């Protein structure tokens, strides 16, 4: 049986003119804040930044999870740790030459370590350090933009991550990023997802009032999964 689900609002989808109020609402409801750091190179978009994390950390009461959609993650790790990141999660595709050094650096700075896999990247790509990570994020859309359709082939990757975790006693959380909403909750939860990143369709577009939007999300999730 799956554990209690965790929810991580994607702050690139929030109303950035109302950050403080929305964070105050989410502090008592969410489990993590998902902060996308993009460089305009690894993905053709630029969103949030270490400076945003620094400001967020002054009002957040839950861990800040930084997703590094950047070509050179090492350039961001120290500044994000100093800014208040709880998790630092580079893409597996960007750390192939120095994965162990990156993992050790993140942990030495007091942060938890995550790794993110693009839809076309198999779990076998991280097999030699999978036991070292605290969280695996499986992209269920191609990275870089919100509002994309769900890639169903990722359900098998989620099941594989769950099987490996159970068989080997690994401690990582299994997280999904992309198209988490009423159309996918049941399949994702049953496949083994533990952390659900909530964006426009899953949370912020459900109601103009974020408290009501959260309540609607939880009711939808309970209806779909029983949790």
Distances (CA, A) of 127 to 43, 45, 121: 25, 29, 12
CA 123/CA 149 separation, integer angstroms: 21
Q: Is position 144 annotated in a ligand binding site?
A: yes
- Would you say 188 and 225 are in contact if contact means Cβ atoms under 8 Å apart? no
Q: Rounding to the nearest 10 degrees, give the CA dihedral for residues 183, 187, 188, 190.
A: 150
Q: Is position 110 annotated in a ligand binding site?
A: no
Q: Is position 156 annotated in a ligand binding site?
A: no
65 is catalytic: no
Residue 7 is given by DSSP the state E
Q: Is position 128 annotated in a ligand binding site?
A: no
Q: Is position 18 annotated in a ligand binding site?
A: no
Q: Is position 74 annotated in a ligand binding site?
A: no
Q: Is position 65 annotated in a ligand binding site?
A: no
Alpha helices by DSSP H, listed for the chain, are: 19-27, 50-57, 74-83, 99-108, 154-168, 185-191, 210-225
Q: Catalytic: which of 36, 39, 65, 134?
A: 36
CA 6/CA 62 separation, integer angstroms: 12
Q: Rounding to the nearest 10 degrees, give the CA dihedral for residues 139, 141, 146, 147.
A: -140
177 is catalytic: yes
Q: Is position 171 annotated in a ligand binding site?
A: no
CA 100/CA 81 separation, integer angstroms: 18
Q: Catalytic: which of 65, 177, 207, 209?
A: 177
Q: Is position 49 annotated in a ligand binding site?
A: no
Catalytic residues: 36, 177
Q: Which residues are annotated as a binding site for substrate?
A: 67, 144-147, 177-179, 199-201
Q: Which residues are annotated as a binding site?
A: 34, 36, 67, 144-147, 177-179, 199-201
Q: Which residues are annotated as a binding site for a divalent metal cation?
A: 34, 36, 67, 177
């Amino acid at each position: 049986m799956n554990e209690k689900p965790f929810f991580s609002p994607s702050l690139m989808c929030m109303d950035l003119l109302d950050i403080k109020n929305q964070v105050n609402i989410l502090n008592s409801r969410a489990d993590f804040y998902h902060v996308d750091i993009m460089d305009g190179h690894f993905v053709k978009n630029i969103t949030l930044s270490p400076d945003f994390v620094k400001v967020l950390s002054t009002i957040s009461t839950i861990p800040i999870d930084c997703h590094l959609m950047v070509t050179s993650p090492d350039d961001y790790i120290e500044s994000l740790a100093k800014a208040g990141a709880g998790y630092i999660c580079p893409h597996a595709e960007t750390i192939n030459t120095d994965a162990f050094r990156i993992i050790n650096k993140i942990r030495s700075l007091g942060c938890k370590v995550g790794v993110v896999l693009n839809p076309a990247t198999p779990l076998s790509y991280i097999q030699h350090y999978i036991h070292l990570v605290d969280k695996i994020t499986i992209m269920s859309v191609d990275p870089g933009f919100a509002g994309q359709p769900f890639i169903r082939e990722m359900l098998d990757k989620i099941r594989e991550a769950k099987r490996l975790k159970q068989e080997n006693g690994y401690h990582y959380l299994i997280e999904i990023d992309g198209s988490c909403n009423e159309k996918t909750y049941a399949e994702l939860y049953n496949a083994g997802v533990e952390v659900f990143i909530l964006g426009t369709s899953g949370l912020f577009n459900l109601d103009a009032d974020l408290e009501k939007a959260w309540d609607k999300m939880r009711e939808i999730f309970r209806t779909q999964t029983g949790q």
